[in-house]
Amino acid sequence: MAGEVLAFGPNCSAEFALHGGKEKSVLVAGGAGFLGSHICARLIAAGRRVICLDNLMTGSLRNVRELAESRNFCFRLHDVIDPIWLDEPISEIYNLACPASPEKYQRDPLHTFQTSVRGAENLLMLAQAKGARILQASTSEVYGDPEISPQQESYRGAVNTFGPRACYDEGKRAAETLFYEFSAHRGLEVRVARIFNTYGPKMAHDDGRVVSNFIVQALMGQPITVYGDGSQTRSFCYVDDLVDGLMALMASPPDCSSPMNLGNPGEFTVLELAQKVLAKTGSHSPIVFSALPTDDPRQRRPDITRARERLGFNPRVALDQGLDATIAYFSGVMGSISEPFKQVS
């Protein structure tokens, strides 16, 4: 099916492509996932035309169900590993297509690596053909298990090239290289966000990341599984703040094209997070400790000075407030959750 894009949904007719007037669309690759669906919703709310392209590997149509009623929204089922062509004029591309949870991206490491590298190249070629600006959802994982904290964009990282996380970490690093080569040699307007741990409503209940897992485990009365002794730290950014940052970066002037950290610099141990979740849910789940996964980073904290200065990025949602909203979301969807799951931080 190379080159073809299967489209469905009430607004994915040729009409969308041909009769959209002069207005260009925004393509959100990975738009049915956690972050992508929030971006699609924001863009639709702002009156933009949105094409959501996804292979539904870790995303879900449920995440974009409400948007399908909008005349400005179109969903297309496609794997970014395959060449992409769309007839519509496109002004901006967000590349969020990649599983983000270690449990999910380690299921098919070759596909994850190809998604990061070949998928990025396919989207870059589309951006070139359309004259579109393109934003890459890169990651704090490019810093690996960092030797310095907080991590500034100038830090080059300590990454294992062949460990179980390498398919993701090195794939994302290679994707950054591709972005900057397309910028230098083909004149593309690129933006690269290095996203730090982000959480919020619409995470999949079986996603495998620490915030959603602790909440779902607590709500289901299952043991909360903490790896190691729980003293490893993470910085948790609420999704609304992150989306503000991504959209500001997309709209930023050309001198913002070098990588930009986006996240919330507040730092918490994983054990503190577990205790907060237990207190907020009123759960009596016990905390159980198990071995740390290979290459699990000890510490993660973004230095967001650049994003503050250049984008006015200022995360506002405190962890307590964001957890309340996320717990309320998972409480609402608990009826559909029944299977046990594993957790990776």
Ligand X SMILES: NC(=O)c1ccc[n+]([C@@H]2O[C@H](COP(=O)([O-])OP(=O)(O)OC[C@H]3O[C@@H](n4cnc5c(N)ncnc54)[C@H](O)[C@@H]3O)[C@@H](O)[C@H]2O)c1
Q: Which is nearer to ligand X, 16 or 94 (CB)?
A: 94
Q: Which is nearer to ligand X, 80 or 226 (CB)?
A: 80
Q: Which is nearer to ligand X, 36 or 144 (CB)?
A: 36
CA–CA separation, 169 vs 98, rounded Å?
A: 12
Q: How far is the CB of 105 from ligand X (least distance, A)?
A: 8
- Residue 301 per-residue DSSP state: -
Structure token digits, residue 286: 């016990």
- Residue 73 per-residue DSSP state: E
Q: How many residues bind ligand X (CB under 6 A)?
A: 27
- Check: CB of residue 174 under 8 Å from CB of residue 257: no
Structure token digits, residue 232: 């490893």
Map the footprint of ligand X across residues 269-328, applying CB under 6 A.
Answer: none
Extended strands (E) in 172-299: 190-195, 198-199, 224-227, 233-235, 237-238, 260-262, 267-269, 287-290
Question: Catalytic: which of 94, 168, 199, 238?
Answer: 168
CA–CA separation, 253 vs 240, rounded Å?
A: 22
33 is an interface residue for ligand X by CB under 6 A: yes
250 is an interface residue for ligand X by CB under 6 A: no
Q: Which is nearer to ligand X, 211 or 218 (CB)?
A: 211
CA–CA separation, 308 vs 261, rounded Å?
A: 10
Map the footprint of ligand X across residues 61-120, applying CB under 6 A.
Answer: 79-81, 96-100, 115, 119
- Check: CB of residue 101 under 8 Å from CB of residue 207: yes
Whose CA is closest to 90, among 121, 48, 60, 152? 48
197 is an interface residue for ligand X by CB under 6 A: yes
175 is an interface residue for ligand X by CB under 6 A: no
32 is an interface residue for ligand X by CB under 6 A: yes
Q: Which is nearer to ligand X, 139 or 233 (CB)?
A: 139
Stretch that binds ligand X, among 195-203, 252-260, 298-306, 332-340 (CB under 6 A): 195-203
Strand partners, 94: 28, 135
Q: How far is the CB of 19 from ligand X (least distance, A)?
A: 26
- Check: CB of residue 311 under 8 Å from CB of residue 248: yes
Residue indicated by tokens 């007719």: 13
58 is an interface residue for ligand X by CB under 6 A: yes
39 is an interface residue for ligand X by CB under 6 A: no
227 carries an active-site annotation: no
134 is an interface residue for ligand X by CB under 6 A: no
Residues found near ligand X in the complex (CB under 6 A)? 30, 32-36, 54-59, 79-81, 96-100, 115, 119, 137, 139, 195, 197-198
Q: Could you give the residue numbers annotated as active site?
A: 168
